[in-house]
Amino acid sequence: MSNTEVEDTIKRLSANKYVQAVLIVNKEGQTIKSTLDESLSKKYSDLITKLVEQTIHVIREMDDEENKTNDLSFLRVRTKKHEILVAPDTDYLLIVIQDPEKS
Amino acid sequence: MSNTEVEDTIKRLSANKYVQAVLIVNKEGQTIKSTLDESLSKKYSDLITKLVEQTIHVIREMDDEENKTNDLSFLRVRTKKHEILVAPDTDYLLIVIQDPEKS
């Protein structure tokens, strides 16, 4: 994604009234863009990056093919307080935190 | 859930043509019911139980309230090959593996 595309994506998502936060995190777990403050952005980026790594590990372990080609397309964690959506891109994770009533 | 309810749930879910497997796993990670063979059931139960624990850990860490009351309602892992749905109950995890094209 180009920088403008990233900005546009964040703007479009944030306009949704159910969306509480949008973060873009690189493969090293660093926050590239975020609608949250610095401390929360770091905390969420760290935790969600780690969760995605663990999820991908499980997917690979479950894969019965020798070359383990299976990969994560989308992760959705619904909690009592919010729903966390993670869309992995080649270089980034797009993370959206939204109201759980939405879906 | 009573035993009959468990059986009925599995029967109903398995009847869906997109559903590839249904497992019910207790809080210790042991398979209670499964439509898969023993070896795969054990593997999937172990891996998904661990993933759910890690997910709950992340949810609790993200919770800014002191008593950390937030909890997992539903987990959805879409992969290139299948989609894993996990609904946690008080004593069990209900796990459904389905065709990713379904949703």
Q: What is the pLDDT of residues B43-63, one digit of tens each?
A: 999 999 999 999 999 999 999
| Distance between CA atoms of residues B41 and A52, nearest Å | 23
Contacts of A42 in chain B (CB under 8 A): none
Facing B59 at nearest CB: one of A61, A69, A79:
A79
For chain A (103 residues), the mean pLDDT of every run of 10, in chain order, is 81 90 94 95 97 96 87 96 94 93 65
Q: Which pLDDT band holds residue B24 (cuts at 50, 70, 90)?
A: very high
Count of Cβ atoms closer than 10 Å to residue B58 Cβ: 21
The CATH code of the domain that includes B76 is 3.30.450.30
C-beta atoms of B77 and A55 within 8 A: yes
Count of Cβ atoms closer than 10 Å to residue A25 Cβ: 24
| 3-class DSSP string for A61-102 | HHCCCCCCCCCEEEEEEEECCCEEEEEECCCEEEEEEECHHH
Residue of B42, B81, B102 to mutate, testing the A interface (most A Cβ within 10 Å of its Cβ): B81
C-alpha neighbours within 13 Å on the C-beta side of residue B64: 5
Largest CA distance in chain A: 44
Facing B54 at nearest CB: one of A51, A76, A100:
A51
- Please give the tally of structural domains in chain B: 1
| A47 lies in some domain | yes
C-beta atoms of A79 and B58 within 8 A: no
Close Cβ partners of B29 (under 8 Å, ≥ 6 residues apart) = B45, B46, B49, B50
What ipTM, to 2 d.p.?
0.90
The predicted pLDDT at position B30 comes to 96
| A57 lies in some domain | yes
**Could you tell me the residue range of the domain that residue B33 belongs to?**
3-102
| 3-class DSSP string for A5-51 | HHHHHHHHHHCCCCEEEEEEEECCCCEEEECCCHHHHHHHHHHHHHH
| A103 lies in some domain | no
C-beta atoms of A58 and B69 within 8 A: no
In angstroms, what separates the C-alpha of A94 from chain B's closest C-alpha? 15
Residue of A41, A43, A58 to mutate, testing the B interface (most B Cβ within 10 Å of its Cβ): A58
Pick from A37, A36, A48, A54: nearest CA to A87: A48
Phi, psi of B89 (to 5 degrees): -110, 175
**In a 3-state reduction of DSSP, which class is residue A94?**
strand
- A23-32, B3-12, B75-84: which has the minimum mean pLDDT? B3-12
Are the C-beta atoms of B44 and B20 separated by less than 8 Å? no
Contacts of B79 in chain A (CB under 8 A): 59, 70-73
Cα–chain center distance at B49: 8
Pick from B67, B86, B70, B62: nearest CA to A81: B70
